[in-house]
Amino acid sequence: MLGLMQDHPLLISSVLEHALKAHPQGQIASRTVEGPMHHCSYADIGRRAKQLANALTALDVQPGDRIATLAWNGYRHMELYFGVSGMGAVLHTINPRLFPEQIEFIANHAEDQYLFFDLSFAALVEQLAPRMKTVKAFIALTDRSRMPAIEVPNLLCYEELIEDQSDEFIWPVIDERAASSLCYTSGTTGNPKGVLFSHRSSILHSLALCTQDGFALSSADSALLVVPMFHVNAWGMPYAAAMSGARLVLPGASLDGESLYQLMRDEAVTLALGVPTVWMSLQQYVEAHELDPAVDLQLNRVVIGGAAAPRAQVETFENRFDARVLHAWGMTEMSPLGTVCNLLPKHRYATLDERLDLQAKQGRSLFGVSMKIVDAAGAELPRDGKASGHLLVKGPWIASQYYRGEGGPILDDSGWFDTGDIATIDPDNYMQITDRAKDVIKSGGEWISSIDLENAAVSHPAVAEAAVIGIPHPKWQERPLLIVVLKAGKIASKEDLLGFLESRVAKWWLPDDVAFVDALPHTATGKLQKMKLREQFQDYRLACR
């Protein structure tokens, strides 16, 4: 027997229509590529998204066509988010921080029909345009007065493209399982792989963000999106903000500590989202200029994802910013949110140290994400917070395969996706990543967590960033090497750091050596590139002990 409920498809266009009726005056504040701040409303975004949809129709864009972007976080990019997907095409956000050869591969693999780009990437587009085989025209996200002087075939102006179009558009009613957007993994090994999101998966994912166990997003929030709109749909925030009426603050290309601090202050930001490297820059700016963010800002919570949040970073936000950190975890294949580290009622009276220990974990799974840990044979391990194993997930916003079937089957016989992470899960369902399966250090038959060592090292007052890799050892198979970037003007020796770590990790976990470098390599999404570190230190030899 079927239920007697109305059947309306879950579509991106329905989110925009809700925003237009429920909170049309909700604000979007953008720092533009041209320089000035730009303020508009959801009503403005809706009007221009419909003009865009009419323009794309005039360009003969068909349902399912891939429409690419090379753009920062800004109001025009928001218009593309809703106008492209709403009309039935597929929004393909390309990460401009990838190597040009990877961008070329991605655009051709996706068979993009049109490419919209910010002025920052004009030279890159000019370089790659001849090699983008399927792109019919390149649209600069600006007005006529600022059009770039580049040699690109079929170069169009965004403002001219939409200005004469009607702001009336009837969104098509399509299957909610139809593709809405396409993102590619960062491609740390081999070519990037495409993850094709549906309208249904994106709506369900965004609803989860709005819940109290998610980001508790509401119209009372002013949310700063430091996480790029070209990185897994900015973690779903453009959709979730439109659902809830939250004010969005979009920083454009200015992601340095000073620019972010000014935006937080001037735009009354209450919630900010980004990766640890960005927050490290912000905290260093505050420290260097002896600022008082607890007084200057209205910030009350910070979402940290993309990589493990160092305990010292969490503590600084708590003590100096008076802001609570929500540690989050996920991946492109998961849309991306899988867990958020919110506290339970039982933790209401926990001490600061107890809360910081808990916030080091990646958190509890949101409704819609099932997870388990298994051993090498595939047997499920207990949720006791001690047993660690391979982390598997499944749910309605988790990929079933890669675009065009690249890489072959990615699910096991029961529909579980192997994240590639090693983790523990405790009795309260808090999950903690202990390492990537490829990064875990195997010493004398036991595992050493490189993430735990890195977090302990970063809590040293002289350390800006740290990485730990396994180095072959004649006796123990592998031993940890600590690689450190010191803060500007700070000094620390190998002996200082090892002495500092002695009281913070198990004795047999202590690194055998410490190497000091000027900078660590990162992927285009801000994650440490340990593969490059292993290449850099491949001839490094540890003394036998």
First to last CA, the chain: 70
Does 290 qualify as catalytic in the annotation? no
Token couple for 60:
């003969």
Beta strands in 131-178 (DSSP E): 137-140, 155-157
Question: Residue 541 has what DSSP assignment?
Answer: -
* φ, ψ for residue 57, nearest 5 deg: -60, -40
| 140: three-class secondary structure by DSSP | strand
**Cis previous bond, 293, omega within 30:** no
The region that residue 290 occupies, defined by phi over 0 for left and psi between -120 and 50 for alpha, beta otherwise, is left
Does 446 qualify as catalytic in the annotation? no
Task: Say how far apart CA 375 and CA 370 lie, in whole Å.
Answer: 17
Does 151 qualify as catalytic in the annotation? no
Residue from 185, 270, 424, 525 carrying the catalytic annotation: 185
Closest to 158 (Cα-Cα) out of 231, 77, 39, 85? 77
Do 116 and 136 meet the contact criterion of CB atoms below 8 Å apart?
no
Residue from 333, 454, 465, 478 carrying the catalytic annotation: 333
Task: Find residue 473's DSSP bridge partners.
Answer: 477
Do 340 and 364 meet the contact criterion of CB atoms below 8 Å apart?
yes
State the Cα torsion 461-226-339-404 to the nearest 10°.
Answer: -130
- Going by their DSSP bridges, the two strands 301-304 and 271-274 should be labelled as parallel
Closest to 471 (Cα-Cα) out of 380, 536, 407? 536
State the Cα torsion 253-257-262-267 to the nearest 10°.
Answer: 70
Residue from 438, 442, 475, 490 carrying the catalytic annotation: 442
Closest to 240 (Cα-Cα) out of 328, 310, 139, 158? 328
Residue from 447, 490, 502, 535 carrying the catalytic annotation: 447
Do 281 and 257 meet the contact criterion of CB atoms below 8 Å apart?
yes
Q: Which residues contact 495 (CB under 8 A, 6 or more apart)?
A: none
Task: Say how far apart CA 421 and CA 392 lie, in whole Å.
Answer: 8
Task: Say how far apart CA 319 and CA 310 lie, in whole Å.
Answer: 15
Catalytic residues: 185, 333, 442, 447
